[in-house]
Amino acid sequence: MLVVLVVFFLGAVAAAPTLDQCPRIMSEAGLSPNFAPMVTHSIHSLTVEDIRYYFKPNATEENGIPTVNLDVRSAERVLPNAPLIGYDDAFKTKALKSFDLVMRNMNRTWWGIPKYSVLEKVAHALHMAEAWENAMGEYKMIERLLDPESDLCSCVTDIENNGILNHLNLIAFKIRYPGITSGKDSLTNQYLTSANSTDSTTVDTHTRKKRGGYDASYDASYDAGGYEASYDASYSAARDNAPVAWHRSVRFDGINFDLSDVELLKDVAEKLVDKSNVMGYHIDSAEHWEYWKNVLKLPQDESHYYDLAMFMFCKLNQV
Ligand SMILES: *[C@@H]1O[C@H](CO)[C@@H](O)[C@H](O)[C@H]1NC(C)=O
Ligand SMILES: *[C@@H]1O[C@H](CO)[C@@H](O)[C@H](O)[C@H]1NC(C)=O
């Protein structure tokens, strides 16, 4: 990566790159073809404190790192900045700070990743911390070599066109409507049915109505065997597909995330199918932990951290 970056840096040109030049500029700098899903997976739950700890000590609340809104009932799915979260500084290690954050919010119904169990929320928090820690070295290297005003940074920070904003919206949908991209009617119908019977003109009304139907039917289908009954048959397929589904670039043709959840649910369920059902396997046994472990070990190559570090550097130093 170092060599690639140096070569790129030396070859940088003055004029701002045009949109169609960005894919080439990014790939020549060694960024992966799955740059957008890789980066969004790693930034969606970042906080100001995390940014200060892992990347830039003087980052502010105007940090420009877009994140998925922790309030899953809000009409605003994606926030323009990572929020200040308020870790308990009485804890020294990052691990206990993260653990405390999960524990003290565990009974907030519409916050974070509601359908994860407490154990899964902890696993998720620690997994993200590991990804950030892994990107620290690459960040420092990039900081030494790259000009934040480079063409590369213009492309990397153009989140409306490079896929990052779309992928963040997709993650928000997956958190709000578990299984929505699974392609399985048994999971998606519950959301579509309640969306159809709903007046989408006011966010408040639609949110309240939809949520009522959503929660009850989700739990019903979950308990009734959406999970256990089909477990044996689909487990290996799901386990093997999960890593792929999480890190594959998606085509968002014709999907406009400015629309409301209700207006978009059908399109998301039909056009963005990736067969993933992240919430389909709970950590309730050593056997299911194996599924999680497989997912949490990803990514297995350095390119992910390089992608992440590049995004963080260019965004945090954007001029
Ligand atoms: C943050 O620190 C960097 C150097 O580490 C400095 O160049 C920059 O001006 C600082 N930014 C703010 C907002 O203080
Ligand atoms: C709080 O959350 C935990 C974990 O999900 C749950 O077991 C417990 O019943 C909840 N308690 C209340 C008072 O809602």
Note whether 36 and 148 are same-domain residues.
yes
Domain that holds residue 191: 170-283
Q: Report the C-alpha gap between 284 and 96 in whole angstroms.
A: 22
- Cβ within 8 Å of residue 274, ≥6 positions away: 181, 183, 245, 248, 250
Nearest atom within ligand 2 for CA of residue 117: 5
Domain assignment of residue 175, yes or no:
yes
- pLDDT, tens digit, for every residue of 78-120? 999 999 999 999 999 999 999 999 999 999 999 999 989 999 9
Of the ranges 1-5, 15-19, 55-59, which one carries the lowest mean pLDDT score? 1-5
Q: Report the C-alpha gap between 252 and 24 in whole angstroms.
A: 20
Note whether 39 and 158 are same-domain residues.
yes
Ligand in closest contact with the CA of 143: 1
Q: Report the C-alpha gap between 191 and 199 in whole angstroms.
A: 14
Question: According to the model, what pLDDT value does residue 92 have?
Answer: 95
Note whether 247 and 180 are same-domain residues.
yes
Is the bond preceding residue 57 a cis peptide, omega within 30 degrees?
no
Of the ranges 3-12, 35-44, 291-300, which one carries the lowest mean pLDDT score? 3-12
Q: Average of pLDDT values for 138-146?
A: 97
- pLDDT, tens digit, for every residue of 292-315? 888 888 766 678 899 999 999 999
Of 2, 32, 77, the residue nearest 299 (C-alpha)? 32
Note whether 211 and 154 are same-domain residues.
no
Beta bridge partners of 111: 71
- pLDDT, tens digit, for every residue of 214-224? 333 333 333 33
Note whether 48 and 152 are same-domain residues.
yes
Question: According to the model, what pLDDT value does residue 254 have?
Answer: 86
Note whether 54 and 150 are same-domain residues.
yes
Note whether 136 and 207 are same-domain residues.
no
Domain assignment of residue 13, yes or no:
no
Question: According to the model, what pLDDT value does residue 118 have?
Answer: 96
Structure letter (DSSP) for residue 71? B
Question: According to the model, what pLDDT value does residue 249 have?
Answer: 75
Note whether 188 and 79 are same-domain residues.
no
Question: According to the model, what pLDDT value does residue 279 have?
Answer: 64
Complete DSSP assignment for 108-147: -TTBSSTTS-HHHHHHHHHHHHHHHHHHHHHHHHHHHH--
Note whether 33 and 131 are same-domain residues.
yes
Nearest atom within ligand 2 for CA of residue 106: 2
Q: How many folded domains does the chain comprise?
A: 2
Q: Report the C-alpha gap between 171 and 41 in whole angstroms.
A: 8
Question: According to the model, what pLDDT value does residue 229 have?
Answer: 31
Domain assignment of residue 234, yes or no:
yes
Domain assignment of residue 21, yes or no:
no
Note whether 254 and 201 are same-domain residues.
yes
- pLDDT, tens digit, for every residue of 263-280? 999 999 999 998 776 666
Whole-structure pTM value: 0.84
Question: According to the model, what pLDDT value does residue 201 have?
Answer: 36
What angle is formed at CA 251 by the lines to CA 127 and CA 256, rounded to 5 degrees?
95
Question: According to the model, what pLDDT value does residue 227 have?
Answer: 37
User: Ligand 2 pocket check: which of 103, 104, 105, 107 to mutate, most ligand atoms within 8 Å of Cβ?
Assistant: 107
pLDDT at 204 over 80: no
Ligand in closest contact with the CA of 317: 1
Q: Kindly tell me the burial class for residue 190, based on how many C-beta atoms sit within 10 Å of its own C-beta (0-12, 13-18, 19 or more).
A: buried
CA of 56 to the centre of ligand 1 (A): 9
Domain assignment of residue 22, yes or no:
no
Domain assignment of residue 17, yes or no:
no
What's the residue count for the chain? 319
Q: Average of pLDDT values for 121-137?
A: 94
Domain assignment of residue 174, yes or no:
yes
- pLDDT, tens digit, for every residue of 48-88? 999 999 999 999 999 999 999 999 999 999 999 999 999 99
User: 286: how many CB neighbours lie within 10 A of its CB?
Assistant: 8
Cβ < 6 A, ligand 2 pocket: 106-107, 118
Domain assignment of residue 141, yes or no:
yes
Note whether 99 and 216 are same-domain residues.
no
pLDDT at 183 over 80: yes
Note whether 38 and 126 are same-domain residues.
yes
